[in-house]
Amino acid sequence: MFKDRQEAGQKLAHFLATRRYVDPLILALPRGGVPVAHEVAKFLNTSLDVVVSRKIGAPMDVEYGIGAMSEDEMPLFNPISARFFDIQSSQIQEIVEEEVQELRRRVSLYRSGRILPAIKNRNVILIDDGLATGVTATAAGKFLRSQNPLSLTLAVPVGPQITDTMLREQFDEIICLHRPPNFSSVSLWYREFPQVADEEVMRTLRLYHPTDWISVQVF
């Protein structure tokens, strides 16, 4: 069990340092992945930015992810979930439209006019605070893969023993420090797991992009 996201990030950073990536690009999945990735970027002495990905919840249970989308705004649905839900239904299309708006809001807020760093021919490491279904990481991985990175790694402190096939297809390597046999949710493996606010994400990103920041409003 990790004390908090900072400790998890420090342990992840020490492990990633042994891999000796050449000029790695660290990207975080906000919000929870940002404080973890911050510790990694500090330790590896490299820059940090975010790639936004949004879960698409089921109509009757928004917490149950049946798909996700990243910054290309192309919904990606889990084939298993698609068997039980009509992904062409008006309900799901409404959910997708809502998530598109939230995705755009977060991109605008967190990047403040910056473009995503160049991905092509870079060793990209995508970081989150944990892996549950992996649906949001899969969507982000698909988006990043389309930009031809030299290598694409997903790194998390904790996750299940079995990794989804769709997720494995997007990443060259998946690094997970702790895979407990009785994994049920990410939060159970942290003693302190507060919600990460937009303000904390923005405050962290300002450390890495101070000259690019313009005045923005938190909605």
Q: Band of the pLDDT at 133, cuts 50, 70, 90? A: confident
Averaged pLDDT for residues 133-160:
96
Averaged pLDDT for residues 143-161:
97
The CATH code for residues 5-52+118-208 is 3.40.50.2020
pLDDT at 215 over 70: no
pTM of the model: 0.92
Residue in 58, 69, 127 with CA at minimum distance from that of residue 102? 69
pLDDT at 217 over 50: no
User: According to the model, what pLDDT value does residue 10 have?
Assistant: 98
Residue with tokens 């694409």: 152
pLDDT in tens, 52-101: 999 998 888 777 788 999 999 999 998 777 667 777 788 888 999 999 99
Averaged pLDDT score across all residues of the chain: 91
pLDDT at 219 over 50: no
Residue in 102, 186, 171, 184 with CA at minimum distance from that of residue 138? 171
Boundaries of every domain in the chain: 5-52+118-208, 55-109
User: According to the model, what pLDDT value does residue 210 have?
Assistant: 87
Q: Is 151 helix (H, G, I), strand (E, B) or coil?
A: strand
Distance in angstroms (rounded) separating the CA atoms of residues 49 and 38: 9
